[in-house]
Amino acid sequence: MVLVSGSGTNLQALLDAASDDAYGATVVAVGADRDDIEGLARAERAGVPTFVERVGDHLDRDKWDERLAERIAGHRPDLVVSAGFMKILGPRVLAAFPVVNTHPALLPAFPGAHAVRDALAYGVRVTGCTVHLVDAGVDTGPVIAQEAVPVLEGDDEKSLHERIKTVERGLLVEMVGRMAREGWTTTGRTVRLGTTSGRTTK
Ligand code: GAR
């Protein structure tokens, strides 16, 4: 299942890939932390069940985490993909499911909500995207795959982010598909794909 907060172009790439049986994964549900976003509309158009859990509708983040974990569990996903979900996931969700996140920078550089803006402000010549497992920190989990994207003369946040997102969608689709088809193991900070033995985190 996929969690979104915005336009959902990464979600769309997953939905498109999953329409082919050979992909090996389906999107069983889409969850969001806000209403009226294109990500939810994309799921509805694809006939995928959706739900919304707003932090503000709960007493505190702990209660939100508890309810979000229940909502996710209701769809019995093998994997949760955070694709532009702009909230830090809590301990209950993370204990119950493996979660993959896509981030628009080469972690550990530029974690957080403004990665593209921060990379431009720093003046880097190369940035990119990272697909990683989520742990309790902010964009600190073990890296699954990364791809570089050059910063071009005259780039602004929008143009650079669009170029990163083109690469990011391909990388996310490829990695989620491989995880579903081949399995993975995590040993310390190393994620190894293609280990049919399972998904044990040591
Ligand atoms: C993506 O670039 C994703 O990496 C980023 O939001 C965008 C969502 O695009 N996520 C973060 O910055 C999380 N820190 P989308 O809604 O079109 O898939």
Catalytic residues: 103
The β-bridge partners of 21 are: none
Q: Parallel, antiparallel, or unpaired: how do β-strands 126-133 and 99-103 relate?
A: antiparallel
The pLDDT value recorded for residue 195 is 72
Known binding residue 190? Answer is no
| CA of 60 relative to ligand 1 center, distance in Å | 25
The pLDDT value recorded for residue 197 is 52
What angle is formed at CA 31 by the lines to CA 25 and CA 35, rounded to 5 degrees?
145
State if residue 9 touches ligand 1 by the CB under 6 angstroms criterion: yes
Torsion angles phi and psi, residue 131, rounded to 5? -105, 125
Query: Which residue's CA is the closest to the ligand 1 atom numbered 8?
Result: 84
State if residue 177 touches ligand 1 by the CB under 6 angstroms criterion: no
Known binding residue 165? Answer is no
SS3 assignment for the chain: CEEECCCCHHHHHHHHHHCCHHHCCCCCCEEECCCCCHHHHHHHHCCCCEEECCHHHCCCHHHHHHHHHHHHHCCCCCCEEECCCCCCCCHHHHHHCCEEEEECCCCCCCCCCCHHHHHHHHCCCEEEEEEEECCCCCCCCCEEEEEEEECCCCCCHHHHHHHHHHHHHHHHHHHHHHHHHHCEEEECCEEEECCCCCCCEC
State if residue 77 touches ligand 1 by the CB under 6 angstroms criterion: no
Tell me whether the omega of the peptide bond preceding residue 108 falls within 30 degrees of 0, making it cis. yes
Residues of the chain with pLDDT under 50: 200-202
**Domains contained in the chain, CATH given:** 1-97 (3.40.50.170), 104-202 (3.40.50.170)
The pLDDT value recorded for residue 200 is 45
The pLDDT value recorded for residue 72 is 98
State if residue 10 touches ligand 1 by the CB under 6 angstroms criterion: yes
| CA of 128 relative to ligand 1 center, distance in Å | 12
Q: Parallel, antiparallel, or unpaired: how do β-strands 190-193 and 184-187 relate?
A: antiparallel
